[in-house]
Amino acid sequence: MQRTSYRPIDCLHFIDGRFMPSLNGKTFANMNPATEETLGTVAEGGAEEVDLAVQAARRALNGPWKKLSANERIAIMRKIGDLILERKAELAALESLDTGKPLWLSESVDIPRAAYNFHFFSDYIRTITTEATQQDDVALNYAIRRPVGVIGLINPWNLPLLLMTWKLAPALAAGNTVVMKPAELTPMTATVLAEICRDAGVPDGVVNLVHGFGPNSAGAALSSHPDVNALSFTGETTTGKVIMAAAAHSLKRLSFELGGKNPNIIFADSNLDEVIETTLKSSFINQGEVCLCGSRIYVERAAYEPFLDKFVAKTKELVVGEPFAEKTKVGALISEEHYERVTGYIRLAVEEGGTILCGGKRPDGLDTGYYLEPTIITGLDRKCRVVNEEIFGPVVTVIPFDSEEEVLEQVNDTHYGLSATVWTNDLRRAHRVAGQIEAGIVWVNTWFLRDLRTPFGGMKQSGIGREGGLHSFEFYTELTNICIKL
């Protein structure tokens, strides 16, 4: 068994360039979901700590950060990305300790992508231009960009560092200052990120970090703070609605990436071996705790049985185990509460008439930790809760279909609209079907392939707005039109 040489860390707030405990001294325990052991303590912040952080961010916005040139900001951002890569092994270990995900996944995806977010946006900011319009011979109009102001960044627990840097990098590139609120379940890499920002030369107060919970805690205080100009939130849809209500009184600018119940449509003419290889990932990577996972699988009837035979066989080969073991493909779920929620849906699937083809239980020999075998369910009606509600675990349903019209009706019959995948070798069908799916991103013959210049976000209750490339800067900047009479 491979084990990490990096020790867990206790997590303090980072406000105005220094680490500090909560003003009242309160802390909470950070738990390891793979062992159920305490990793360390976390400072529990609330309204007072959030207010200190927002005040620091406001001072920095109109102070040292504003005085830096774009080239100076870009150099600092590139340094942040470089330092993330220099500390890759440490960050990957902390991420796997916090989340229960396999170490190889943290090392190969989470941490490299976190660094790339900074490198990408530091390069992309150089390409941003604004419009100029000549109004006959009467006037010349041109637009200038300026930072929105103080940004609140509220982050989920499934991809902690990757998603925090996805927000932080464009916010800083645009000249904003920030207050970060990581998920209470995964505080460690956010704490190291604050240290990295300081070491890279970010002025005091530009990047602030407050740990804590959501309701009646740091999250609620950040959402409702009158001096926070915008909020970017990634997480569960119900929480997004609460944040939106809290932000309404000050009309904060909002960017939400929320839940998903994403379809994976497999036509009979597709390459089944390629489909299986990718569908294993889109179903079960990161324990299925990815908002983009394809948890509703629809297979054209001619390929239904062959797909199921191969998919079940390959799923049974996936090794569920301790995150730092080399052979582990599926780690532990994030918490006991989440484990009970996911397994509750599996019990519900049986009550609703479903058949568990594989998985659905704790693996043998793993009596401690929140482990669950990857689970494939068939025989459910399209109206069943298990088919319609986000489970956010290693659980998928598989349903046959007979026509494009039928599958599109089922695919779009949902409150969600984050992503979808279409598998076919028919070029016309690929364009035809992809163009009718109500989702923010549709992959054809692939999954999780991202060009960071492209728009990313969800429709319906899967989100508000788009991020990526210019779309991120549209959120993190304000435009002023200047009209010059000629």
Whole-angstrom Cα distance, residue 276 to residue 307? Answer: 8
Distance separating alpha carbons of residues 106 and 27, to the nearest angstrom: 27
49, 52, 164, 385 from 56: Cα distances, Å: 11, 6, 20, 46
Check if the beta carbon of residue 124 is closer than 8 Å to that of residue 453.
Answer: yes
Could you give the maximum distance between any two Cα atoms of the chain, in Å? 80
Measured in residues, the chain has a length of 486
How does 12-31 read in b/e, with b if 16+ C-beta sit within 10 Å?
bbbbbbebebbeeeebeebb
Q: Which of 257, 310, 280 is nearest to 447 (CA)?
A: 280
DSSP 93-122: HHHHHHH---HHHIIIIIHHHHHHHHHHHH
The residues pairing with 14 across neighbouring beta strands, listed in sequence order, are 19, 209
DSSP type of residue 453:
T
Active site residue 107: no
Tokens of 87: 């500390």
The token pair that represents 359 in the structure block: 């998985």
Question: What are the percentages of helix, strand and coil residues in the chain, rounded to 5?
Answer: 40, 20, 40
> Which is it for strands 253-257 and 13-15: parallel, antiparallel or unpaired?
unpaired
The position carrying tokens 């080239």 is 71
Q: Which amino acid type is present at position 351?
A: E
**Catalytic entry in 90, 184, 257, 467:** 257
Structure tokens at 418: 């984050």
Cβ burial 241-259 (10 Å sphere, 16+ → b, else e): eebbebbeeeebbbbbbbb
356 - beta bridge partners?
A: 377
Point out which residues pair with 41 in neighbouring strands.
29
What positions carry a catalytic annotation?
257
